């Protein structure tokens, strides 16, 4: 690469390793020693130097790509180390030994106590397909191998990025593999429990049906915020999962010596696969529906819709089995009783708006009754008590246009024709009124599924979390609702760390969710609700910013449902089932190897069997007035931040366009065509991922400093004295180490017109000067620059207070920080290069409804793939149609091939621009390694 006359001849190292070392040294030494250099920005200065190097020939785009891979590999190695630490007890065997000891202790209390502990479900693992597939399946396996075996994290030199074919079907394929390993781990747990019982209770052990942990999935059944899942696809997935489990049962039965049962199970599995294939056809065609429906619902000698008879048959077989076969038969019976006719239980999900739309007419409510309040609750309760059963067929499902009604009809079909015994969870997202839940109970009664469907409100918005305690108290006081939960034997709620953390900060959300746990326990005790269990499903995900604690797996589970909250349910006399989610690619990583799946199950079992009495001596709870003041101040700070115009403008200006496609669900909620992106339309994971990519994970690190400024000494003392507060702050501190306002200010520089005007003044060629001035002109309103700078100033005041609060914690020396800042500097240089390339585009008359200014603006928003596609259409390299002119025989000296296309614009602008964008997104994936997950 030749040097550019526009820049002085400075030298940068050429090899990736040397260049990485140079960048890290520049960042470590670039902070300045005092206030004499207040405008110094080590990240932005390094970015400018790299940008300059691109023009001097000191570095190339390929060289920067090698540097990004070097830093990404380092991040991946650190991520593997963190994964290994998370599973240290599971991988070392310590968790297994601890669980053996725990089971022996329980057995010493007698058979009844042991049976109560291990046969009642206490925990659940739920697989969800949120967009966290930022790494390819091959790289996730390499990461798992590094964690388990100590292998090089990227020994195969895999690309850092997602698979190219992420779809609902591929996500379902991945969840099937995760469930299979989880199912294997649960089988080992059941064998351990039965083995312990056999040693302690040799005459009675074989009567036990262990079922400590359940598996569930909503992949293919979650319709909240998406319209791309056809009802037929959900039926096909459910049948496929049934076939998988029947085949598993057949293999286990054969191993246990139950050959006749194995044959029957094999036939049932084959028939189920045939039915699944029929529901993968075009179900928008009534003829296809008729064929598939009639095949599924027709009587068949090999069809299984219930395992009740087989479980009873196994009970008889166990009594007469040999000592050799008895354990395997008992384990098979336990799995059948726990799993039912599916690889996992299923969770259907819709949102409250869909439910309200479906029941409004039935409840006699006008469209303008938006609050869905007391009148709606009273009428829903009345209708639920008197609902007349509606018979459902697949014709009903085909014809129904309202999502909520169709989903309840699907429940009816699942229970009638696929699995009559296994309960179905029905999740209501964005639930903020008791009437919404009661309306769902009404529909469940209407379609005859109330005895098998657990309706679960999801509390995830600030309003829902604030009002959730009162909402549940009001519901529990309603006789119709109490009748419903008493019939089901359980009450289910779901808490959303993702959206809650987006709106009110992760620390604030955790405190609000803990409070809601406690309020629900109090409501159950106050109303004297007995003989039911409480199912608490805490959705969270794998990254620090979305709920996972940067400690051990046990600490992570305690983070989600604290020992104090668990003790409150114990005090209320209500058995607790704690479910947690493993979301998308980042979540499935914990099941990418059997050893990791075993670790999850073992440590989940340990946590489930430990129901603490609470720690009343913890000053966090003893000084509740003070800690609650902190929560209120923190929540207010985060909500003000979310509403801050500068914050919204900064997040939406370009950051979402730096993200890779990481899931089949759209990252943005649907809006009007051409509508500017509102921050509330950006879903939780991409929102938090955008914060990562701006180097400000302030949904975790922000607000503590400002919230404790009135009594900082008291807060510092509380962190020292309170295990609860210390665990909360540990997560905040980890986020703080990855927060870089220098990087944020570096992004602000990109959109500062004065920066480009200054470059123009020093440019040595007229062409370069014009390019810089054009960029300055497009950025003359300074809106993005101003928003980013003002946001940095706002965050700086809070973070300085937090740094003073945790003085002594050496976060600045965290090596991850400098690697992340180096990645930001590289990307800022690439963005500047992209800006410069597009500014060299020659003027042209408007084509395809686009002007030169429009194309520049697309690149300024980092909508580079759109800009490249438009440029290719406007400036094709050659026109195939015009090649026909070669057949003209008349000679010419003015017929140039260049007139038939734009090879010069292709070579100088379009292809270089196209080359930059993948490297920018590779930086995004590399940064996510240091956060241990995307978003």
pLDDT value at position 13? 75
For residue 610, report the phi and psi dihedrals to the nearest 5 degrees: -110, 100
Higher model confidence: residue 900 or residue 868? 868
Q: Are residues 535 and 434 in the same domain?
A: yes
Residue 881 has pLDDT above 70, yes or no: no
pLDDT in tens, 33-77: 444 556 689 999 999 999 998 888 888 999 999 999 999 999 999
Residue 611 has pLDDT above 60, yes or no: yes
pLDDT value at position 900? 54
The residues, ordered by sequence, that sit 6+ positions from 819 with a Cβ below 8 Å of its Cβ are: 24, 71, 74, 75, 930
Residue with tokens 């009345």: 382
pLDDT in tens, 211-222: 999 999 999 999
pLDDT value at position 673? 38
Cα separations in angstroms, 928 against 777, 786, 820? 34, 27, 9
Task: DSSP letter for 205, please.
Answer: G
Q: Are residues 606 and 660 in the same domain?
A: no
Residue with tokens 């998406």: 226
The three-state secondary structure class of 354 is: helix
Mean pLDDT is highest, among 19-28, 289-298, 522-531, 902-911, for 289-298
Question: For the chain, what percent of residues have pLDDT higher than 90?
Answer: 75
Q: How far is the C-alpha of 500 from the C-alpha of 241, rounded, in Å?
A: 32
Kindly state the average pLDDT of the residues 355-363: 91
pLDDT value at position 62? 92
Residue 563 inside a domain? The answer is yes
The residues, ordered by sequence, that sit 6+ positions from 697 with a Cβ below 8 Å of its Cβ are: 544, 545, 688, 691, 735, 738, 739, 931
Cα separations in angstroms, 283 against 35, 165, 235, 714, 783? 69, 24, 11, 64, 49
Kindly state the average pLDDT of the residues 738-763: 94
Assign 683 a pLDDT band (cuts: 50, 70, 90): confident
Give the pairing type, strands 533-539 and 345-351.
unpaired
Residue 659: which H helix or E strand, with range? none
pLDDT in tens, 277-321: 999 989 999 999 999 999 999 999 999 999 999 999 999 999 999
Number of domains into which the chain is organized: 2
Residue 359 inside a domain? The answer is yes
Do 440 and 428 meet the contact criterion of CB atoms below 8 Å apart?
Answer: yes
Of 576, 595, 615, which residue sits at a domain end?
615
Do 367 and 360 meet the contact criterion of CB atoms below 8 Å apart?
Answer: yes
For residue 292, report the phi and psi dihedrals to the nearest 5 degrees: -65, -45
Dihedral through CA 191, CA 193, CA 196, CA 202, nearest 10?
Answer: -80
Q: Are residues 454 and 597 in the same domain?
A: yes
Q: Are residues 630 and 561 in the same domain?
A: no
For residue 442, report the phi and psi dihedrals to the nearest 5 degrees: -60, -45
Residue with tokens 């009559």: 420
Neighbours of 284 (CB within 10 A): 10
pLDDT value at position 549? 77
- Angle at the Cα of 568 (from 494 to 513), degrees rounded to 5? 35
State whether the Cα torsion 628-697-73-30 is positive or negative: negative
Burial class of 444 by CB neighbour count within 10 A (0 to 12, 13 to 18, 19+)? buried
Kindly state the average pLDDT of the residues 854-880: 90
Domain that holds residue 811: 622-670+677-858+918-931
Assign 823 a pLDDT band (cuts: 50, 70, 90): very high
Cα atoms found within 13 Å of the Cα of residue 263, Cβ hemisphere only: 3
Residue 396 corresponds to which tokens in the numbers above? 């009903």
Residue 578 has pLDDT above 80, yes or no: yes
pLDDT value at position 657? 94
pLDDT value at position 680? 79
Tell how far CA 406 is from the center of its chain: 26
Kindly state the average pLDDT of the residues 482-502: 92
Q: Are residues 587 and 657 in the same domain?
A: no
pLDDT value at position 675? 43
Burial class of 295 by CB neighbour count within 10 A (0 to 12, 13 to 18, 19+)? middle
Residue 649 has pLDDT above 90, yes or no: yes
Q: How far is the C-alpha of 737 from the C-alpha of 586, rounded, in Å?
A: 21
Assign 550 a pLDDT band (cuts: 50, 70, 90): confident
Q: How far is the C-alpha of 97 from the C-alpha of 90, rounded, in Å?
A: 10
Residue 173 has pLDDT above 90, yes or no: yes
Q: Are residues 629 and 721 in the same domain?
A: yes
pLDDT in tens, 240-271: 999 999 999 999 999 999 999 999 999 999 99
Residue 828 corresponds to which tokens in the numbers above? 């800022």
Kindly state the average pLDDT of the residues 215-230: 90
pLDDT in tens, 123-166: 999 999 888 999 999 999 999 999 999 999 988 899 999 999 89
Q: Are residues 796 and 751 in the same domain?
A: yes
Q: How far is the C-alpha of 648 from the C-alpha of 644, rounded, in Å?
A: 6
Residue 379 inside a domain? The answer is yes
Question: For the chain, what percent of residues have pLDDT higher than 70?
Answer: 93
Give helix 352-359 / helix 403-417 axis angle, nearest 10°.
90
* pLDDT averaged over every residue in the chain: 90
The three-state secondary structure class of 651 is: helix
Assign 672 a pLDDT band (cuts: 50, 70, 90): very low
Q: Are residues 635 and 601 in the same domain?
A: no
Tell how far CA 689 is from the center of its chain: 10
Neighbours of 890 (CB within 10 A): 5
Of 598, 615, 632, which residue sits at a domain end?
615
Residue 61 inside a domain? The answer is no
The residues, ordered by sequence, that sit 6+ positions from 162 with a Cβ below 8 Å of its Cβ are: 133, 134, 135, 136, 585, 660, 661, 662, 925
Closest CA to 646 of 748, 785, 791: 791
Closest CA to 513 of 459, 474, 476: 459
pLDDT value at position 19? 84
Residue 888 inside a domain? The answer is no
The residues, ordered by sequence, that sit 6+ positions from 651 with a Cβ below 8 Å of its Cβ are: 679, 682, 687, 690, 691, 694
Burial 475-505 (b: 16+ CB within 10 A, else e): bbebebbbebbeebebbbbbbbbbbbbbbbb
The three-state secondary structure class of 513 is: helix
pLDDT value at position 396? 95
Residue 36 inside a domain? The answer is no
Residue 171 inside a domain? The answer is yes
Task: DSSP letter for 900, please.
Answer: G
- Scanning 609-683, the segments in alpha helix (DSSP H) are 619-622, 624-643, 645-653
Q: Are residues 627 and 524 in the same domain?
A: no
Assign 924 a pLDDT band (cuts: 50, 70, 90): very high
Residue 809 has pLDDT above 60, yes or no: no
Q: Are residues 395 and 417 in the same domain?
A: yes
Residue 191 inside a domain? The answer is yes
Q: Are residues 609 and 651 in the same domain?
A: no
For residue 727, report the phi and psi dihedrals to the nearest 5 degrees: -65, -40
The residues, ordered by sequence, that sit 6+ positions from 878 with a Cβ below 8 Å of its Cβ are: 897, 900, 901, 903
Assign 404 a pLDDT band (cuts: 50, 70, 90): very high
Q: Are residues 696 and 563 in the same domain?
A: no
Task: DSSP letter for 906, please.
Answer: I
Q: How far is the C-alpha of 377 from the C-alpha of 478, rounded, in Å?
A: 9
Q: How far is the C-alpha of 906 from the C-alpha of 915, rounded, in Å?
A: 12
Cα separations in angstroms, 559 against 20, 247, 628, 735? 36, 37, 18, 16
The three-state secondary structure class of 25 is: helix
- Scanning 57-161, the segments in alpha helix (DSSP H) are 61-86, 88-92, 94-107, 111-119, 137-149
Residue with tokens 């262990």: 210
Of 569, 597, 615, which residue sits at a domain end?
615
Closest CA to 628 of 541, 725, 501: 725
């Amino acid at each position: 690469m030749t040097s550019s006359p526009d820049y002085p001849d400075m030298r940068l190292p050429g090899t990736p390793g040397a260049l990485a070392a140079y960048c890290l040294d520049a960042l470590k030494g670039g902070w300045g020693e005092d206030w004499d250099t207040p405008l110094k920005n080590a990240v932005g200065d390094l970015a400018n130097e790299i940008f300059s190097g691109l023009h001097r020939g000191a570095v190339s785009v390929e060289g920067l790509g090698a540097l990004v891979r070097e830093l990404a590999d380092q991040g991946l190695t650190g991520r593997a180390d963190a994964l290994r630490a998370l599973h240290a007890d599971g991988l070392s065997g310590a968790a297994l030994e601890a669980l053996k000891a725990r089971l022996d202790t329980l057995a010493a209390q007698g058979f009844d106590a042991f049976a109560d502990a291990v046969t009642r479900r206490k925990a659940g693992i739920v697989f969800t397909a949120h967009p966290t597939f930022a790494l390819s399946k091959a790289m996730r396996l390499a990461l798992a191998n590094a964690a388990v075996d100590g292998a090089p994290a990227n020994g195969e030199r895999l690309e850092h990025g997602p698979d190219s074919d992420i779809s609902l079907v591929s996500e379902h394929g991945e969840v099937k593999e995760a469930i299979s390993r989880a199912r294997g781990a649960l089988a080992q747990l059941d064998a351990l429990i039965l083995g312990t019982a056999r040693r302690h209770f040799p005459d009675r052990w074989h009567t036990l049906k262990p079922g400590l942990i359940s598996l569930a999935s909503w992949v293919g059944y979650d319709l909240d915020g998406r319209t791309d899942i056809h009802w037929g696809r959900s039926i096909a997935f459910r049948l496929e999962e049934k076939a998988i489990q029947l085949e598993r049962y057949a293999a286990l039965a054969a191993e246990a010596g139950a050959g006749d049962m194995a044959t029957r199970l094999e036939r049932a599995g084959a028939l189920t696969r045939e039915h699944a294939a029929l529901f993968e056809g075009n179900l928008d065609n009534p003829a296809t529906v008729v064929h598939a429906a009639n095949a599924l619902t027709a009587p068949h000698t090999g069809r299984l819709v219930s395992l009740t008879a087989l479980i009873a048959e196994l009970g008889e077989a166990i009594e007469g089995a040999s000592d050799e076969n008895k354990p395997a038969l008992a384990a098979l019976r336990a799995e059948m009783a726990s799993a039912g006719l599916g690889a996992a239980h299923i969770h259907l999900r819709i949102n409250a708006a869909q439910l309200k739309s479906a029941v409004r007419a039935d409840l006699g409510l006008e469209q303008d009754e938006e609050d869905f309040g007391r009148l709606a609750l009273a009428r829903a309760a009345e209708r639920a008590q008197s609902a007349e059963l509606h018979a459902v067929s697949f014709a009903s499902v085909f014809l129904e246009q309202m999502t909520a009604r169709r989903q309840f009809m699907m429940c009816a079909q699942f229970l009638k024709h696929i699995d009559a015994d296994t309960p179905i969870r029905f999740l209501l997202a964005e639930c903020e009124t008791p009437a919404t839940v009661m309306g769902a109970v009404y529909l469940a009664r209407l379609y005859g599924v109330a005895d098998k469907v657990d309706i679960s409100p999801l509390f995830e918005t600030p309003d829902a979390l604030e009002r959730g305690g009162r909402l549940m108290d009001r519901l529990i006081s309603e006789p119709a609702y109490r009748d419903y939960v008493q019939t089901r034997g359980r009450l289910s709620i779901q808490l959303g760390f993702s959206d809650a953390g987006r709106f009110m900060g992760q620390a604030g959300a955790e405190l609000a969710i803990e409070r809601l746990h406690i309020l629900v326990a109090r409501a159950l005790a106050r109303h004297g609700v007995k003989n039911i269990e409480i199912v608490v499903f805490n959705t969270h995900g794998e990254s620090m910013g979305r709920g996972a604690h940067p400690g051990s797996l046990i600490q992570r589970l305690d983070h989600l449902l604290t020992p104090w909250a668990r003790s409150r349910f114990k005090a209320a006399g209500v058995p607790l089932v704690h479910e947690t989610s493993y979301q998308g690619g980042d979540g499935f990583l914990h099941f990418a190897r059997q050893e990791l799946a075993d670790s999850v199950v073992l440590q989940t079992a340990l946590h489930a069997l430990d129901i603490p009495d609470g720690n009343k001596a913890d000053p966090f709870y003893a000084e509740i007035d003070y800690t609650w003041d902190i929560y209120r101040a923190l929540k207010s700070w985060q909500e003000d931040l979310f509403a801050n115009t500068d914050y919204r403008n900064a997040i939406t200006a370009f950051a979402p366009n730096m993200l890779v496609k990481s899931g089949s669900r759209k990252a943005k909620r649907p809006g009007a065509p051409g509508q500017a992106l509102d921050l509330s339309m950006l879903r939780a994971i991409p929102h938090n991922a955008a914060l990562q990519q701006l180097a400000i994970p302030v949904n975790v690190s922000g607000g503590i400093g400002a919230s404790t400024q009135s009594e900082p000494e008291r807060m510092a003392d509380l962190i020292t004295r309170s295990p609860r507060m210390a665990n909360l702050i540990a997560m905040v501190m980890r986020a703080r180490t990855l927060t870089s306002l220098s990087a944020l200010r570096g992004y602000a520089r990109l959109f500062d017109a004065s920066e480009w005007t200054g470059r123009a003044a020093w440019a040595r060629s007229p062409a370069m000067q014009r390019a810089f001035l054009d960029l300055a002109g497009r950025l003359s309103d300074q809106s993005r620059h101003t928003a980013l700078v003002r946001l940095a100033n706002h965050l700086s005041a809070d973070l300085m207070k937090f740094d003073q609060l945790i003085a002594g914690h050496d976060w600045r020396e965290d090596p991850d920080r400098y690697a992340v800042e180096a990645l930001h500097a590289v990307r800022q240089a690439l963005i500047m290069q992209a800006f410069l390339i597009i500014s060299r585009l020659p003027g042209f008359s408007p084509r395809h409804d686009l002007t030169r200014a429009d194309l520049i603006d697309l690149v300024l928003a980092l909508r580079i793939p759109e800009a490249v596609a438009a440029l290719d259409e406007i400036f094709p390299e050659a026109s195939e149609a015009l090649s026909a002119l070669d057949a003209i025989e008349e000679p010419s000296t003015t017929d140039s091939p260049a007139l038939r296309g734009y090879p010069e614009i292709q070579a100088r602008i379009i292809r270089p621009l196209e080359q930059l964008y993948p490297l920018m997104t590779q930086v995004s994936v590399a940064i996510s390694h240091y956060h241990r997950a995307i978003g």
